[in-house]
Structure 1
Amino acid sequence: MNPPAISDTGSPVLTGLAPIVSPATVVLILGSFPGVRSLELQQYYAHPQNQFWKILQAVWPHHPLPMGADSYPEKKKWLLERGLGVWDVYAACEREGSLDSAIRAPVANDIAGLHLPRLAAIAHNGGESFKHARHTRTLGVPVYQLPSTSPANASWSFERKLAAWREVLDAHHLL
């Protein structure tokens, strides 16, 4: 990965990750923007304390999630097999660190341009992503705010997060 460009304000200008989607995507999960670790590894939700992968494994306990350092291609396949897609609301931004509160000068992704024929819902992973709900609602599918899986969201227990995520996925017949 090349070092990020530096903006006029002296902050790094970062570029996000490509979407993980297929024509079979039923629920698109939108984060805000990848954290430092995710950008370093070029993998969604790569920080070991982020609960994204743990929550999804708990939703589908009888379908083991591939683990290990080289398992990311299999994790992407695992997501797609369950009708999930993953992307972020921001394609690029300026940011120091990983906190959403540090995002500056964001550039939005073209979510409507994905052309997902089976899309039944959009689930925003956290509050920063959900700020874009007015845009995602124009796609004509239900839009949900899920509790962030980030370690910064310590006010929700794992069990409470899991229940909210399970409810949305169940509503769209993915369980």
Structure 2
Amino acid sequence: MNEEEAPRVHSFPPLVDEQSRILILGSMPGVASLEAHEYYGNPRNYMWRLLYSLLADGVPDERYEDRLAFALRHGIAMWDVFASCVRKGSLDSDIRDAVPNDIPGLLRRYPNIRVVACNGGKSHGELVKQFGDTPELAVRTVIRLPSSSPVPTRNFRGLDDRLAAWRQQLGPFLQTDMLPIR
């Protein structure tokens, strides 16, 4: 499939509620996630194992609906920086003709979100490029986390090194005084 034949893909609606305190912002769901209609639906992706390791016993619930409820129960929202893009495959480097989601609008609607945690460099770079000068981001903490993708990088080979980085960078914001009481 050449670039002209690559499909336009669309992100999911945000997973968020009034108790959300941390927005984990990806770039665009990969092929496996789009096919499963699930955030981080590729079983090789580390996202759910990272969250459950940070907040529970490390073993994600089997049912997707239970994983979503777990995230919300812990004040975690999820969305993607792009509403749609043209992309063949799942690599961020293949994203073309991207249309951003209305991140500032979401943050206005959910003012309890205090932290925007970008899942990887593409998410962080595009967030800053598109919305870095908005007041909605200026009043929040924005952090760049290593991608939860299973693709090894020079600095992050697998789950354990990603978990250590997530624990160091995101851990302070997961303290019980930051989380909603349910």
Among residues 74, 78, 92, which one is paired with 1:86 in the alignment?
78
Taking structure 1 as the reference length, what is the TM-score of the superposition?
0.86
Among 119, 130, 148, the alignment partner of 2:124 is 130
Q: Is the 8 A contact 1:111 1:136 kept in 2?
A: no
Structure 1: distance between partners of 2:143 and 2:80? 14
Q: 1:73 to 1:136 in 2, by over 3 A?
A: farther
Q: Is the 8 A contact 1:43 1:72 kept in 2?
A: yes
Q: Please, what TM-score do these two structures have when normalized by structure 2?
A: 0.83
Equivalences for residues 23-38 of structure 1 within 5 A: 23-38=18-33
- Aligned position for 2:160: 159
* Inter-CA distance 75–137: structure 2 relative to 1 (3 Å threshold): farther
Q: 2:39 is matched by which residue type in structure 1?
A: Y
1: distance between equivalents of 2:44 and 2:59?
19
Which has the larger share of helix?
Answer: 2
Instruction: Report the residue type matching 1:148 in the other structure.
Output: S
**Conservation of the 8 A alpha-carbon contact between 1:137 and 1:143:** no
The aligned counterpart of 2:179 is none
Structure 2: distance between partners of 1:20 and 1:14: 18
Kept after mapping to 2: 8 A contact 1:50/1:149 = yes
Structure 1 segment 7-156 matched on structure 2, within 5 A: 9-62=4-57, 65-67=60-62, 71-114=63-106, 115-134=109-128, 135=131, 138=134, 139=136, 140-155=139-154, 156=156
Displacement after TM superposition at 1:167 (Å):
2.6
The 2-side partners of 1:57 and 1:63 are apart by 4
* Structure-2 residue corresponding to 1:170: 171
**Contact 1:16/1:90, CA 8 A, preserved across alignment:** yes
**Which secondary structure state, in structure 1, belongs to the residue aligned with residue 5 of structure 2?**
coil
CA–CA separation in structure 1 for the residues paired with 2:11 and 2:125: 18
**In the alignment, is the contact (CA less than 8 A) between 2:28 and 2:80 conserved in 1?**
yes
Closer/same/farther in 2, CA of residues 136 and 77 from structure 1, 3 Å limit: farther
| Aligned CA distance change for structure 1 residues 124 and 141 (closer, same or farther; 3 Å) | same
CA RMSD between the two structures: 1.9
1:162 maps to a residue whose letter is L
Structure 2: how far apart are the matches of 1:81 and 1:137? 31
- Report how far residue 151 of structure 1 moved: 1.5
Aligned residues: 165
Letter in 1 for 2:159: F
Percent identity of the aligned residues?
A: 37
Post-superposition shift, 1:37? 0.6
